[in-house]
Amino acid sequence: GAAYLGLGDLEKARTKFSWLRRRFPRNANVCLNLGIVEMDSGRYRLAAAYFRQALAIQPAHQNALQLLTAAERAIRRRPLQE
């Protein structure tokens, strides 16, 4: 998934990370990466939900906390977007 994300292929990254999420539902980094895919897609509410899931699994996950803050900021700037 990370390779596709690095290449900017968000659909393939989303597919791979979604598969990993089903296989490893308690992996905070998988949730984090799904959030990143959604942030890059402009889907800030969904991204925030994934970052919250990562934090529920691993409350001290600094990347998830920082990205949740960024997603919430984007939601406030664009309240009518997805």
Which conformational region is residue 8 in: left (phi greater than 0), alpha (psi within -120 to 50 degrees), or beta?
A: left
Q: Within 13 Å of residue 77, how many CA atoms lie on the same side as its CB? A: 9
- Per residue in 18-70, pLDDT (tens digit) is 999 999 999 999 999 999 999 999 999 999 999 999 999 999 999 999 999 99
CA distances from 40 to 23, 26, 56, 63 (A): 23, 23, 22, 15
Q: For residue 78, name the pLDDT band (cuts at 50, 70, 90).
A: confident
The answer to whether 28 and 57 have CB atoms below 8 angstroms apart is yes
Beta strands in 25-66 (DSSP E): none
